[in-house]
Amino acid sequence: MHLSREEIDARLEELRDKLPQSILEELRQELHRAKLTKEALESIIEEVLKRYEYARVEPGEAVGVVAAQSMGEPSTQMTMRTFHYAGVAELNVTLGLPRIIEIVDARKKPSTPMMTIYLEEEYARDKEKAEQVAQEIETLYLEDLLEKSEIDIVHQRVNLYFDEYEMRRRKVEMEEVLKKLGSIKGVSTEVAGNVVSVIPEKTSSIKELRKLENRVKGIHLRGIKDIRRVVLRREGEEYVIYTEGSNLKDVLRIEGVDITRTKTNDITEIQRVLGIEAGRNAIINEIQDTLNEQGLTVDVRHLMLVADMMAVDGTIKAIGRHGVSGEKASVLARAAFEITVDHLLHAAVAGEYEELEGIVENVIVGRPVKLGTGMVELVMRRELEEAKEVKEAE
C-alpha cells in the first residue's frame, strides 16, 4: 500500500527539469522518511510545484531597490564602535556600520586588514608544525628581537642588546642575525654575549650613526611583508592562524597553507589574486559575516545583488559617485545624485542623449517609472474589444 523508495525516486525523476536540484534532493530525503500513498505523493508534488512557482520572482520586480533597502534599513540599528573583539580576543577588527560602509566603498585597503589562514591536514593537527608555519608567516624585523639599542659616539658604534627571551620564543639563532648584518656594506660587527656592536668603517657623525641604527633595526629577518602579527588558535580539531595585516599572494605560496580555505578581509586583494568571481563572493561573505555578528538577518540574495552590481564589469566598483552611480548611462540620474553641475556641463559638450529609461529620469519628467506595474507596455484597445463584442452580439 505504501510506496517503495524506488517508486518515489522514479516519480521524482520526472520532475528533474521542473524543480532545482536542491529542492528535489531535500524532497527525496523527506519522502524516504515518510510512509506514503500514491495520492499523498501526488498531493505533495503538486503543492511543492505550486510553492516553487509562487516563490519565483515576477518580471518587473524592483529587486534593486528591495536589496538596497534590505541592506540599508537594518544598518540604522548597527553599532558604530569601530573596534570590537571578534572570535579572537587578541585581534582588533573593524565591525558594524563602519565595516559595511568600507565594503560598499570598495576601499583599496581595509582599515584593519586581517587574514584567516587554514592549514593542510598534517600541519593543522600538529601544534608544532602549525607554529612553524605561523613563524614563517609573521614578519620579523631585527628591532623586534631587541631589548634596547644605543649609539656609542665615543667608540663609533651602534650597540644592539638582544632580548634572549624573544630570540628563543621566535626561534632565531644569532648566526642568522649576523649573516643579515654582514650584508650591510661598510660595517663590521662585534659580538659580546647578547650584545652586538655594529661599527662603521668610516668615522661618522651622530646623524650618520642614527641613520645606521634605524637601518639596522629595520632589517627584515623573515616572514611575509605586511603581516605584523600572527595568532595561532585551536578551533575544534585543527589549528588556525589569524594575522594582523594581509598579503594573500605570498601567504598562499607558503608550504602547509590550505589554499582552498585561507581568506583575507581585503576584498580588492582577493579580486586581484583570485579573480572577480572570488571578489564578488568575498563581498557577500564579508557583508554577511558583519551583519550576522550584529545579529541582523538579511537574505543573501540581497547581498548577492549588491555584490553583483559592484562586480559586473570585471573590477570591483564602489557604490557611490566614484563607482556605480558615477558610471550610469543617464545624465539626469547622475546629476540628481551628486556633483550635479559637472555632469550637466560634460553632457553638453559631449552632446549626450538622455534616454529617460531609469527611475529618477522618469520621476523628473513626471511619468510612471518603468518598474513593476509600470513596465507593462501592452495596452488593450478598447474600441477594438467593444467592436468585437458588438459583432458577437449580432
Partner 1 sequence: MRIIPKKVERIKFGLLSPEQIRKLAEVKIVTADTYDEDGYPIEGGLMDPRLGVVDPGLRCKTCGSRVGDCPGHFGRIELARPVIHVGYAKLINKILKSTCRECGRILLPEEKIEEFRQELKRAKRIGKNEEPIVEELFKLARASKSCPHCGAEQMEIKFEKPTTFIEVVEGRQHRLSPIEVRERLERVTDGDAEVMGFDVSVARPEWMVLTVLLVPPVTVRPSITLESGERSEDDLTHKLVDIIRINQRLEENMEAGAPQLIIEDLWELLQYHVTTYFNNEVAGVPPARHRSGRPLKTLAQRLKGKEGRFRSNLSGKRVNYSARTVISPDPNLSINEVGVPEIIARELTIPEIVTPMNIDRLKELVRNGPHRYPGANYVERPDGARLSLARVRDIDELLEKIEPGWKVHRHLIDGDIVLFNRQPSLHRMSIMAHEVKVLPYKTFRLNLCVCPPYNADFDGDEMNLHAIQSQEARAEARVLMRVQEQILSPRFGGPIIGGIHDHISGAYLLTQPEVKFTKEEAFHLLYASGIRKPLPEPAVEENGRAYYTGKQIFSMLLPEDLTLRYRAKVCRKCEKCKREECEYDAYVVIENGKLRCGVMDEKSFGAFAGELLDRIVKDYGTDAAREFLDRVTKLVINFITWRGFSTGIDDEDLPEEAKERIAEILDEAERSVFELIRAYNDKILDQLPGRSLEETLEMRIMEVLSEARDKTGKIANEYLEREEKRRRHENSARIMAVSGARGSLLNLTQMAACVGQQSVRGERIKRGYSGRTLPHFKVGDISAKAKGFVRSSYKQGLSPLEFFFHNMGGREGLVDTAVRTSQSGYMQRRLINALQDLKVEYDNTVRDTRGVIVEFQHGEDGSDPSRTDWGKMVNVKNIVQKYARTEAE
- What residues from 48 to 77 belong to the interface with partner 1 (CB under 8 A)? 48, 51-52, 54-76
Q: Does 297 bind partner 1 (CB under 8 A)?
A: yes
Q: Does 376 bind partner 1 (CB under 8 A)?
A: no
Q: Does 178 bind partner 1 (CB under 8 A)?
A: no
Considering only the stretches 18-26, 141-149, 204-212, 257-265, report the one whose residues sit in contact with partner 1 under the rule CB under 8 A: 18-26
* Shortest reach from residue 11's CB to partner 1, in Å: 14
- What residues from 316 to 355 belong to the interface with partner 1 (CB under 8 A)? 319-320, 323-325, 327-333, 335-337, 340-342, 344-345, 347-355
114 neighbors 93 (Cβ within 8 angstroms)? yes
Q: Does 43 bind partner 1 (CB under 8 A)?
A: yes
Sign of CA dihedral 67, 314, 261, 233: negative
Which pairs from 276-284 meet CB under 8 Å and 24+ separation? Answer: 276/311, 276/314, 276/315, 276/316, 279/311, 279/316, 280/307, 280/308, 280/310, 280/311, 280/316, 281/307, 283/103, 283/307, 283/310, 283/311, 283/316
Q: Which residues of 102-137 are buried (b: 16+ CB within 10 A; e: fewer)?
A: bbbebeeebebbbbbbbbbeebbebeebbbebbbbb
Upper half-sphere CA count for residue 145 (Cβ side, 13 Å): 28
94 neighbors 111 (Cβ within 8 angstroms)? yes
* Shortest reach from residue 320's CB to partner 1, in Å: 5
3-class SS of residue 265: coil
Q: Does 86 bind partner 1 (CB under 8 A)?
A: no
Nearer to partner 1, 134 or 181 (CB): 134
**Residue 22, all three cell numbers:** 536542491
In angstroms, rounded to a whole number, what is the distance separating the alpha carbons of residues 117 and 301?
Answer: 27
* Shortest reach from residue 232's CB to partner 1, in Å: 8
In angstroms, rounded to a whole number, what is the distance separating the alpha carbons of residues 384 and 380?
Answer: 8
* Binding residue count for partner 1, defined by CB under 8 A: 113
- Binding track, positions 245-284, relative to partner 1; x by CB under 8 A: ----------------------------------------
Q: Does 26 bind partner 1 (CB under 8 A)?
A: yes
C-alpha pair distances (Å), 314 with each of 24, 277, 307, 308, 309: 34, 9, 12, 10, 10
Work out which of 12, 199, 274, 371 binds partner 1, going by CB under 8 A.
371
* Shortest reach from residue 43's CB to partner 1, in Å: 5
**Residue 49, all three cell numbers:** 510545484
- What residues from 100 to 129 belong to the interface with partner 1 (CB under 8 A)? 100-101, 104
Considering only the stretches 28-36, 107-115, 141-149, 267-275, report the one whose residues sit in contact with partner 1 under the rule CB under 8 A: 28-36
Nearer to partner 1, 140 or 363 (CB): 363
Q: Does 167 bind partner 1 (CB under 8 A)?
A: no
- Binding track, positions 223-242, relative to partner 1; x by CB under 8 A: ------x-x-----------
* Shortest reach from residue 252's CB to partner 1, in Å: 23
